[in-house]
Chains A and B, each alone.
Chain A
Amino acid sequence: MSVTLEELGKRAIACKNWKWLPGMLAWRITNSGNRVRVRFLDEVSSYGELAEASQIGPLVASGHAIVDGWHKSSDLVPDLSDPATLGCLLQLVREVRSNPTGFLTPSAKGGWTYFTQLYQADYFLGDTEAEALLAALEAAP
C-alpha cells in the first residue's frame, strides 16, 4: 500500500462518522502485506481474543476466513483503492449527510467532486474519488 493510500485510510477511520461496512477491504496494520474483507457478523463469537470486537454487526473482518481468521477492527485500515470499499464509502457519506443520492463526478483539472445534488453549491473536492468522499465525510455534522 502506498503511503498516500495508507494515510487516506487512517484519515478515514479518524473521522467521527466512520464505520466499517460489509464488503470493505482492509489492510492489517500489524501486517501490511495482508488484506481482509469485512463481513457482517450476526452471531457472537466465543473466542476470547475477539470479545472486544465480536458484537453483532459489521465490525469484524475476514477475507480469507480459514486462512486468516477474524481480526479486531482496531487493527485495520480501509483500502480506498478497492472498488467495493469506495462503494461503501459513498454509501457512508450519503448516510451521514442524509443525502441518499449524492454522487462523484470527475473535475476538469483531473480531480473529483462529490456533489450532494446536481447543480447544487454543496460539493467537496479531492484529487481522487476517495479524497473527495473523505472531504465530505470529514465535513459531515
Chain B
Amino acid sequence: MTPDLVDLVQRAVACPRWRWLPGMRTLDAMRVIHDETLFPGRPCAIREGGWVDTAPPRPLRDAFPDLSDAATLGCLLALVREAWGDDRAYLCDFTGYDSVDWGVVSEVWDKKRNEDGLKPWFSCLLGDGPTEAEALVHALEKAPVNGK
C-alpha cells in the first residue's frame, strides 16, 4: 500500500461521521456483516475468502476500509449522503472538463448556499479529489458535525 493510500484510509476512519456499514471490505480482507445474533448492535466482519467454518465472524477492531472495493465505495457514498443530509448527492467525473477530477456534488447544498447569498465557484461541490475514494473521503471530512 502506498503512503498516500495509508493516509487516505486513516483519514476516512478519523472522520467524525465515519462508521462501518455492512458490505464494506477491510484492508485485511474481511467483509463487514450485520449479525445481531452474535454481535448485537456492533459491526463485525468475516474473512472474505476461505471456508466459513474455519473463520467465524469477529468484531471490528483497528481495521481500515479497502477503498478500492466497489461495495465499500457504495457504502462510503451512503455515509456522505447521510452526513450532508442529501440522499441525492452524487459522484461526478469532471476529468478533462474542469480543474477537479472527481467531485461529490450536492444540488441541495448548492441551493442553500445560493439562498444565503453565498455563491462561490463550484458551490455544489462537497468534496473533490483525483479519485472517487479521495473525493468521498474529502466530502466526509468536510461534513457538518452537530449542525456545524
Known: A62-B52, A85-B74, A106-B90. A67 touches B23 (CB 8 A): no
From 24 to 61 in chain B, residues with beta carbon under 8 angstroms from any chain A beta carbon are 24-25, 31, 33-35, 37-38, 46, 48-53, 56-57
Residue positions of A touching B, CB distance < 8 A: 21-25, 37, 39-43, 45, 62-67, 69-70, 82-88, 90-91, 101, 103-106, 117-119
- A41 proximity list for chain B (CB < 8 A): 49-51
Is A118 a contact of B31 with CB atoms below 8 Å? no
Question: Does B8 reach chain A (CB closer than 8 Å)?
Answer: no
Task: Closest B residue to A60 by CB, please name it.
Answer: B52
- B77 proximity list for chain A (CB < 8 A): 83, 87
- B75 proximity list for chain A (CB < 8 A): 83-84, 87
Known: A43-B49, A84-B72, A87-B77. A65 touches B56 (CB 8 A): yes
List 23 A-B pairs, Cβ < 8 Å.
Answer: A23-B25, A23-B74, A25-B22, A41-B50, A43-B49, A45-B51, A62-B52, A63-B22, A63-B35, A66-B53, A66-B56, A67-B38, A70-B52, A84-B75, A86-B74, A87-B73, A87-B74, A91-B70, A103-B90, A105-B90, A105-B105, A106-B90, A118-B92
Known: A64-B35, A87-B75. A103 touches B52 (CB 8 A): no
Name, among A40, A45, A87, A105, the residue most crowded by chain B CB atoms within 10 Å (CB to CB).
A87
B44 shortest CB reach to chain A, Å: 10
Q: Interface readout for B70-101 with A: 1 if CB under 8 Å, 0 if not?
A: 11111101100000000010111111110000
Is A82 a contact of B52 with CB atoms below 8 Å? no
